[in-house]
Amino acid sequence: MHEPIDLGTLRVVIAAADHGSISAASERLQLAVAAASSRITALEESLGFRIFERSSRGVQLTPAGQMLVQRSRALLTDADRLALHLRGYSEGLQGQVRVLANTSALLEVLPQRLQRFMDSHPLIRVDLEERGSPEIPLALLEGRADFGVVDLPVPPAGLGFTPFFRDTLVLLTPRGHRLAGRRKLRLAEALDEPFITLSDGTALSNRLVASAADAGRPLNVRMRMRGFDAVCRMVAAGLGVGVLPLEAVAPQLAHLPLAAVPLADPWAKRTHHIATRTDAPLAPAAATLIRALTR
């Protein structure tokens, strides 16, 4: 059985073939002539055939040597390409990043920041999926994503939080509603109204239910919608009031008969976080993306 062929020895062989001289190859590769000659001789003995015919004028490839050099060039090209790719992965310049993000992040900050990132990092592929904040921690802990963007008050066990962006919750009412002219109010002051909320289990709907319970009142939910736009349209139609982040519904405020009243409750000022696992290092590409998003 032949010994494994060393890529460095193949580089010596190719350099000698290109220059017609082992001494010239040694100079190019910054090797001692004896070391280069010794590598070639050892390879010939291992392969069982001569690679070069040697003479006082230098070296010339044998037919078997020509085949070896031809195949070696392709092999070394692939090896160099692999090394370049691996260096790109290790330096966070290429790779694949799986991200789970809540709706607010998708509407408020991620489109613009991701566009800039992907323009400057074309070799990093970002797979982005919308999820509710309460769903994201389990997916991260199970390794189904590299990081997530969540609206949660404290990190669950096994996750760490990095502040990402802030937004402000407002009470949405139809234009002309009795509460529409208020400069600010607490949620408790609107609990007589029917509410248009997001589906159960979202971080925002959980906050509303908890705040109403703290006030000793149930939340009067008339309709549950899957998205922000549907909530806005139902409120604009006069079917109830809703609570959504001001930054996410600015386009609807410009085009629908809506009013936005800031909420005075402390929980209405939200900080969204990037959540990562604490027991596993981030892939280099994921770390590069997080640095770019939070810069």
- Domain locations in the chain as residue ranges: 7-90, 96-163+279-294, 166-270
Question: Residue 93: what pLDDT?
Answer: 63
Q: Hey, what CATH topology would domain 96-163+279-294 get?
A: D-Maltodextrin-Binding Protein; domain 2 (3.40.190)
Helix 63-90 / helix 284-294 crossing angle, nearest 10 deg: 40
Given this chain, do its domains 96-163+279-294 and 166-270 carry the same CATH topology?
Answer: yes
Question: Residue 88: what pLDDT?
Answer: 62
Stated as kind and residue range, the H or E segment containing 173 is strand 159-174
Average pLDDT for 265-281? 94
Q: Is residue 292 a contact partner of residue 117, using CB atoms and an 8 Å limit? A: yes
If 0-12 CB within 10 Å is exposed, 13-18 middle and 19+ buried, where does residue 253 land? Answer: middle
pLDDT for 240 beyond 60: yes
37 CB neighbour count, 10 Å cutoff: 19
* Distance in angstroms (rounded) separating the CA atoms of residues 36 and 189: 86
Closest CA to 148 of 91, 110, 199: 110
pLDDT category of residue 90 using cuts at 50, 70 and 90: low
Question: Residue 199: what pLDDT?
Answer: 86
Taking all residues of the chain, what is their mean pLDDT, rounded to a whole number? 91
pLDDT for 261 beyond 50: yes
Which has more confidence, 5 or 171?
A: 171
Average pLDDT for 99-127? 93
192 phi and psi angles, rounded to 5 deg: -75, -15
Which has more confidence, 56 or 240?
A: 240
pLDDT category of residue 91 using cuts at 50, 70 and 90: low
Question: Residue 198: what pLDDT?
Answer: 92
Lowest mean pLDDT among 52-61, 86-95, 97-106, 131-140: 86-95
Question: Residue 276: what pLDDT?
Answer: 97
Stated as kind and residue range, the H or E segment containing 148 is strand 147-150
pTM of the model: 0.70
* Distance in angstroms (rounded) separating the CA atoms of residues 206 and 212: 10
* Distance in angstroms (rounded) separating the CA atoms of residues 235 and 260: 11
Q: 3-state class of 274 per DSSP? A: strand
Pull the structure tokens for residue 264.
Answer: 């005075």
Pull the structure tokens for residue 160.
Answer: 């760490």
Q: What angle do CA 266, 130, 103 make, to 5 degrees?
A: 30
Question: Residue 89: what pLDDT?
Answer: 65
Average pLDDT for 55-70? 89
pLDDT for 272 beyond 70: yes
pLDDT category of residue 48 using cuts at 50, 70 and 90: confident
pLDDT category of residue 78 using cuts at 50, 70 and 90: confident
Q: 3-state class of 43 per DSSP? A: helix
Average pLDDT for 240-268? 95
Closest CA to 172 of 155, 148, 197: 197
Q: 3-state class of 100 per DSSP? A: strand
Question: Residue 1: what pLDDT?
Answer: 45
Question: Residue 168: what pLDDT?
Answer: 96
CB burial of 101-124 (b: ≥16 within 10 Å; e: otherwise) equals bbbbbbbbbbeebbeebeeebeeb
CB proximity list for 185: less than 8 A, separation 6 or greater: 171, 179, 261, 263, 264
Multiple choice CATH, 7-90, 3.40.190.10, 1.10.10.10, 1.10.260.40, 1.10.760.10? 1.10.10.10
* Distance in angstroms (rounded) separating the CA atoms of residues 37 and 177: 92
Long-range contact set of residues 49-58: C-beta below 8 Å, sequence gap at least 24: 51/13, 52/16, 52/17, 57/20, 58/19, 58/20, 58/21, 58/22, 58/24
Lowest mean pLDDT among 3-7, 86-90, 213-217, 244-248: 86-90
Average pLDDT for 136-141? 95
- The superfamily (CATH) of domain 166-270 is Periplasmic binding protein-like II (3.40.190.10)
Question: Residue 76: what pLDDT?
Answer: 83
